[in-house]
Amino acid sequence: MVMNQGEASRLVAPLWTKSFIFICLTNLFMFTSFYFLLPTLPVFVTSGLGGDESSVGYIIGILSLTAVMVRPLSGYLLDAVGRKKVLFLALIAFCLATSAYHIVAGLTALLLLRGLHGMTWGFATTGAGTVAADVVPAQRRGEGLGYYGLSNTLAMAAGPSMGLFVLAQGGFPALFSASLILAVLALLSLLGVSYEDAFDGRGNRKGGGSKGDAKEEPQKPGLSLVNLFEPSVFSLSAVMGFIAIVYGGIVSFITLLAKEIGVPNAGIYFLIYALTLLVIRPWAGRAFDRQGPKRIMMIGFISMITAFVLLFLAKGVGLFVLSAVSMGVGFGIVQPTLMAMAMNQVPPFRRGAANGTLMSAFDLGIGFGSIALGYVSKLAGLSGMYLVCAVIIVIPALLFFRFAR
């Protein structure tokens, strides 16, 4: 049997290298540390510091805001200074910020700490994603980033419930200690990544990067608005931003919808969603590598529209769970495919800026979507809001098939 060139390259390009495994572990521990605090900080604000619901909103939101602010700069530094160096320093800062929760005694201090934590989060997540894109073979980047994204999924599935369990058993000191331990494990896992940056801060080639990457020689990047963002991925970032807007409707309001339609435990949505992602991400990555993005992206957009229509129609647990499956299929295809496309269409020495641009669009989309869809829900109700989300998905679909390369 004669193999074509693509099949042959897949056989000679190993994916599960030591560096890839350890960057996935780094991401898993980092995201689990983050998800330990996400559902428990509102309890800390209200019962521990005497805050109210508006205080909770500011405490949760400030992290996303500061993460957005630093992502373009983090992308620039990843390209100009070096991937692993910047990520290592970011994870040290991430650990220090996590340890500081032990000494917070007031709402103002917590707000400032969350802002600093968001900055370290923006640097660390952008850096880890860029290193992952570098260490996977170019011929298997879609598949590799699909598997890498599973570490986020596992953290999202296990982190909140584990954090609530630790809080119930040991209180806030135990919670913050457990989150810190996970952050330190992320830092230690990075030491297992045998990775040398393809380009140093002076623009000299150092021999890194994935086999199959283009061999463009970089120029020394200066600090400017152009170098903070990657214009070639603006169209993909616009698609990502609209996807994040409707995703913000899921993370912000799905619990309220569950209560409204009589679903006793809204956590089942995220559990089913995460389990679906575990199945769909590897398949979507392989399909992207073999067939390109058009067919699977069409499946992804249709699945997301279906998920929101099911939420609009849901009157009980049945359609609620089916929506979670459909959302897992849709988001599990669209998000990693956009990331892989962005990494493939820029030279290796611009992956940091491309990753920062794409993730900034995602963070902004979630923040804007949470606020805007809140107003929509007041006018149309929660079910009506999700029908609006189904209509909104048409916009990124049109943008993708019209402008994305």
Average model confidence (pLDDT) for the chain? 82
At residue 162's C-alpha, the angle toward residues 107 and 339, to 5°, is 85
pLDDT of residue 123: 93
Q: Report whether pLDDT(110) > 90.
A: yes
Distances (CA, A) of 69 to 37, 79, 129, 364: 21, 17, 17, 10
pLDDT of residue 312: 95
Which amino acid is it at 106?
G
Tell me, yes or no, whether 249 and 126 share the same domain: no
Handedness of CA 63, 64, 66, 72 (dihedral sign): positive
135, part of any domain: yes
Q: What is the CATH number of the domain that holds 361?
A: 1.20.1250.20
CA distance 154 to 34: 12
Tell me, yes or no, whether 272 and 345 share the same domain: yes
Residue predicted with more confidence, 279 or 178: 178
CA distance 37 to 35: 5
Domain boundary among 166, 192, 218: 192
Q: What is the pLDDT of residues 49-58, one digit of tens each?
A: 888 756 766 7
Tell me, yes or no, whether 100 and 242 share the same domain: no
168, part of any domain: yes
Owner of token pair 């916009």:
395
> Which token pair is 351?
């992956």
Domain boundary among 163, 192, 221: 192
Tell me, yes or no, whether 254 and 403 share the same domain: yes
Percent of the chain residues past pLDDT 70, beyond the cut: 86
70, part of any domain: yes
Whether the Cβ atoms of residue 252 and residue 237 lie closer than 8 Å to each other: no
Structural domain of 147:
15-192
pTM as predicted: 0.70
How many domains is the chain partitioned into structurally?
2
Tell me, yes or no, whether 237 and 335 share the same domain: yes
pLDDT of residue 112: 94
